[in-house]
Amino acid sequence: VPSESVPSSHDFLSKNSTSSTSIPAEFAESTAIGGSPRDPSHPDWSRSYFGLSTQPFPKEVAEVLMTPIDPLDVEIKPDGLVYLPEIKYRRVLNKAFGPGGWGLAPRSETNVGPRVVSREYALVCLGRLVAIARGEQEYFDPNGIPTATEACKSNALMRCCKDLGIASELWDPRFIREFKSKYCIEVFVEDVRTKKKKKLWRRKDQPAFEYPFKET
C-alpha cells in the first residue's frame, strides 16, 4: 500500500507564502509603518497603524461608547475644569470590549522634563489601532516621577477616548456651560493661613471647602 506523503514544512510555507498577491486587503499594510504583512496578527504597536479606520465597530459596541454621560459622574476642579474620572473611561472600555479586549501600547520613550513627564501611547481595541495621544503629567519632586509616569498613561487614555466618542460632551462648550450652571457653584473662599481670598468651583452637592480654605 503506497504510503501517504506528508507535506514538509517547506511545502507548507511555499503554499502559504504571503506574496503581495495573496495578502488579504485588510492586512496589506506597508512595512514602512510597522506591522509586517507576513504576520498581520502581531503588528508592532510602537509604530504600526494596523487596522486604523478599516471598519466601524458593531452597533452594540458603538452604543456603549457613545452613551451620554451621567452628570453624577462628572467632577469639577477648583479652577473650574470639568472632567470625568479616569477610572470611568476604563469602565466604559471594559463594558464595550470586555476586560482584555483593549489596551494601551507605548509609542515612544518616557520623556522626563524638569517639571513634566510625557509619553505617547496608542489605544488598541480588539486588535485594531483606534487612537494615538501623548499623555503628560506635572511633578514637583523627583520622588514623584514614578507616580507622574502612571498619571501620564491615564492622561493619554482619556485623550485617546475622544476618538471613540466617550464623554465627548466634556469637549462641548455648550454642555460645559450648562453643566456648571446646573450642577456647580463658584464660591469665595479665604485661606485661613494667609487671609487671602479667591473664587473656587465645586459641585453643589459636595460639602463646603475644608482647611485651609473657609467659604465666606
Closest CA to 84 of 93, 72, 99: 72
Task: Give per-residue pLDDT as tens, 134-152.
Answer: 999 999 988 889 999 999 9
Predicted confidence at residue 129, as pLDDT, reads 94
Q: Is the pLDDT of residue 102 over 90?
A: yes
Percentage of the chain beyond pLDDT 90 is 69
pLDDT of residue 46: 87
Cα–Cα nearest to 216, from 185, 191, 193: 191
Rounded to an integer, the average pLDDT of 198-207 is: 95
Are the CB atoms for 33 and 68 separated by under 8 Å? no
pLDDT at 41: 62
Q: Which three cell numbers stand for residue 44?
A: 508592532
d(CA 201, CA 185): 6
Q: DSSP letter string over 83-132?
A: E--HHHHHHHHHHHH-TTSEEEEE-S--EE-SSEEEEEEEEEETTEEEEE
What values do phi and psi take at 99, rounded to 5? Answer: -55, 130
Output the pLDDT for position 38: 53
Start-to-end Cα distance in the chain:
100
Peptide bond just before 68 cis, omega within 30 deg: no
pLDDT digits (tens, 9 = 90+) for 75-96: 999 999 999 999 999 999 999 9
Residues 104-120, mean pLDDT to the nearest whole number: 93
Beta-bridged to residue 191, according to DSSP, are 213
CA-CA distance, 132 to 106, in Å (whole number)?
Answer: 10
Lowest mean pLDDT across 4-13, 92-101, 153-162, 188-197: 4-13
Separation CA 150–CA 38 (nearest Å): 34
Q: Which helix (H) or strand (E) holds 15?
A: helix 9-15
Measure the CA–CA gap between 178 and 82, rounded to whole angstroms: 11
Sheet of 213-215, strand order? 197-203, 184-191, 213-215
CA–CA dist 26, 91 (Å, integer): 30
With a pLDDT cut of 70, the percent of the chain lying above it is 81
